[in-house]
Every structure is written in structure tokens, then in C-alpha cells.
Amino acid sequence: MQLTHGFEQAACIITLLATQDPGIPISSEVIHHRLDGSQTYLRKIMRKLVVAGLVKSVSGNNGGFTIARSPKEINLYDIVQATEGEIHTYPNTGLIDMVFKDFQPVANQGTSVVNQAFAKADRQWEAVLKQQTVSDLICETLGHHEIPLVNWNESDEKRELLIQKLIRNIKA
């Protein structure tokens, strides 16, 4: 099973929002600029994240998007569900039953057995993703115990100075 490109973009959007001061929305233009993706496609992803309760849309002149919950409360599975829906890795076309069609009365058991095996694997996969919070992943990536905040709406020059200062503080 492979997640879609939309999941990757959603994870990046959540990361941007998690590192932004929650009182200052990030504009959709900044998100588009950072991810360099199709604006139409990004709007669809943003809509999914808003509907899932992971992101808030803020209207007005200084509007944009903010994270809806603490990064400590958002896990990878939340993002998967928002972008992909429920995951069922086994396609279940009934083909396995065709293999056993001559073995009545167990002909329909094949699908049931395989479905159960993949359902168990899906639950384990889900459990692992639920343990991985956005906060944990960002902190591990940066080697820091707290998420440093960056105003992604600032000009590239101002933001670069702030990021360099944050990197020096993280290394210290």
C-alpha cells in the first residue's frame, strides 16, 4: 500500500502550521509558495484538513490557516484519515474464493481468512501511526524538546535570520 501525494502535502501543511504562532494565520499564498504545488490541489487538501478538524480557516484581511489542535494531539493517523479515509489494504475482489470454488462448503472461507489477516495488520499499522505525534516528529527532526515557532508570513530575509537564530539555539 502506498499513500497518495496528498498525504505528503497534508503532512507538510500540518508541519508548517505546527511551527507557526497559532495566533497568526498562514496565508494560502505562503503555503502554496512553501510547497510549490498546484493551488487548486492544495485548496482541496486544506479543505480535507479543515473538515477533519486538524486545521482552522481564518477569514479576513489577515486570514489564512492555523492549526486547530496542539501538535501533541495530532498524530500521523489523523492526517492519513483526513487525506485518505479509512485504510483497508486488502482489495477484496473475491478472487481468492474463485481458487476454492470447487471446495464446497469452504469456498467463501478464503476471503474471510485473508480479510481477517489484513484487518489485523491494518490495526497494527494504525496503532503505530497513532503513537507518532506531529510534535514528536518535529522535535526529533530538529533535535529539540520544543517546537520552535517561525512566522512563515515574514519575508524570506526576515524568516531566514530567525531560522538561523533558532538553529544556533537548538545546537547550543
- Write 109-117 long-range contacts (CB < 8 A, 24+): 114/90, 115/90, 117/90
79 touches 7 (CB < 8 A): yes
The answer to whether 107 touches 100, Cβ cutoff 8 Å, is yes
Q: pLDDT 10s digit of each residue in the chain, 172 long?
A: 789 999 999 999 999 999 999 899 999 999 999 999 888 999 999 999 999 999 999 998 889 999 999 999 999 999 999 999 988 888 888 888 888 788 877 777 878 888 999 999 999 999 999 999 999 999 998 888 889 888 888 887 877 777 777 777 766 6
Domains and CATH numbers, the chain: 5-89+133-171 (1.10.10.10)
- In angstroms, rounded to a whole number, what is the distance separating the alpha carbons of residues 170 and 109? 56
